[in-house]
């Protein structure tokens, strides 16, 4: 349908762009876009796509709003804490632009539903924060012939590219296999400057609008690297990999979650390596009165907020300099917030000849869920 008088007024500042015009705006109004993850990246993406007049917008997310989201997830307010993200997002997006048909799906995108969720949409924007979902989004898009605008953030850094284009690579061309557990920390472990997801989300939305309207040169075969500390934008050429299982040889014909590939199998005998210890196992050990050296490698402010009784505070950055404060002959259990920092510290300690080293799987956050719900989470 042609644009109404109200729509012409609403979008007039972008319609007057010679590259867009009324025809380009009508393309936007006919487009159906799926945003996977409506957090730090997906929130700004959805806001700008709704404002630009995308015809149908679907947001998918399984989570509820948490206090720790609010410094970077600008689609939510303090009073939204505890509510479903997709419910709040859909209401706010619909209020932002009543012309857009908004749909919210409260679900975790997984191998059982990814194809069904993605199939109806023209374009997918990946705003997720974990490797399992990134590989699922990628593989589903390749199987369905959909383009995928991908972005990621960590600390002060961001990445952006367009995947799944017939002339370009997919996510598996860049990263054939997920990294081992503990190698790449999450934002919860490493931190993220609050504006970074917004910056990268806006760039994601820009690429989406270009692709839909057919203007400019999209980031196909190019990876944009953003360093906010130096405020530099660098570009890396990325090629399609002929042997890629997804878009090259096409040996991936169904969806399989990559969780198992991300898990490091714990050694049967800890000496010489690092064992993975579940919170309930550690709880049982402590109840039995075992002599355990418990080491907390988080920062001081985290320790002050919440810590396990009898834990020695030894921030990760100080482990090497202060290792003499520990007893290498005692069984040592290392923990942090979610398990990545402690894995790094435990591996180093094992390499220094510590007799028996264990990493607390899932960190103190998992402990508070499975063992002691009274402990505050952050």
Q: Which sequence positions are flagged as catalytic?
A: 187, 336
Strand partners, 313: 296
Distance CA 311, CA 304 (A): 12
User: Could you identify the residue written with the tokens 């390499």?
Assistant: 351
Helices (H), the chain: 5-10, 12-15, 21-30, 42-52, 85-96, 114-118, 131-144, 171-174, 187-190, 195-213, 259-262, 279-288, 300-305, 319-322, 340-351, 363-370
Distance CA 248, CA 128 (A): 24
H/E element, 124? strand 123-126
Closest C-alpha to 125, from 52, 182, 17, 229: 52
Give the Cβ contact number of residue 193 at 10 Å: 18
Q: Confirm if 186 and 198 have CB atoms less than 8 A apart.
A: no
∠ CA 19-22-27, rounded to 5°? 85
């Amino acid at each position: 349908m042609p644009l109404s008088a109200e729509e012409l007024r609403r979008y007039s500042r972008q319609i007057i762009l010679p590259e867009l015009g009324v025809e380009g705006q009508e393309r936007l109004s006919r487009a159906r876009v799926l945003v996977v993850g409506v957090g730090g990246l997906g929130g700004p993406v959805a806001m700008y796509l709704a404002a630009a007049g995308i015809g149908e917008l679907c947001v998918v997310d399984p989570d509820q709003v948490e206090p720790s989201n609010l410094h970077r997830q600008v689609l939510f307010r303090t009073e939204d804490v505890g509510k479903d993200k997709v419910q709040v997002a859909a209401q706010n997006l619909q209020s932002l632009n009543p012309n857009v048909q908004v749909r919210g799906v409260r679900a975790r995108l997984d191998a059982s539903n990814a194809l069904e969720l993605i199939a109806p949409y023209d374009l997918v924007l990946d705003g997720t924060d974990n490797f399992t979902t990134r590989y699922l989004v990628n593989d589903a898009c390749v199987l369905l012939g959909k383009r995928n605008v991908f972005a990621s953030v960590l600390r002060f850094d961001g990445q952006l590219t367009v995947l799944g284009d017939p002339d370009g690579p997919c996510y598996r061309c860049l990263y054939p296999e997920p990294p081992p557990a503990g190698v790449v920390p999450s934002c919860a472990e490493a931190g993220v400057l609050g504006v970074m997801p917004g910056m990268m989300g806006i760039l994601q939305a820009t690429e989406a609008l270009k692709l839909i309207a057919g203007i400019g040169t999209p980031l196909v075969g190019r990876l944009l690297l953003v360093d906010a500390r130096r405020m530099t934008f660098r570009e890396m050429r990325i090629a399609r990999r002929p042997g890629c299982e997804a878009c090259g040889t096409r040996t991936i014909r169904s969806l399989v979650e990559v969780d198992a590939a991300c898990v490091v199998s714990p050694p049967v005998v800890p000496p010489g390596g690092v064992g993975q210890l579940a919170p309930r196992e550690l709880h049982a050990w402590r109840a039995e009165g075992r002599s355990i050296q418990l080491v907390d490698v988080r920062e001081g402010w985290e320790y002050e907020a919440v810590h396990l009784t009898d834990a020695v505070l030894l921030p990760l950055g100080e482990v090497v300099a202060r290792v003499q404060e520990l007893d290498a002959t005692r069984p040592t259990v290392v923990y942090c917030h979610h398990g990545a920092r402690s894995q790094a510290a435990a591996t180093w300690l094992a390499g220094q000849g510590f007799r028996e080293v264990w990493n607390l799987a899932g960190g103190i956050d998992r402990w508070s869920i499975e063992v002691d719900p009274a402990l505050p989470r952050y």
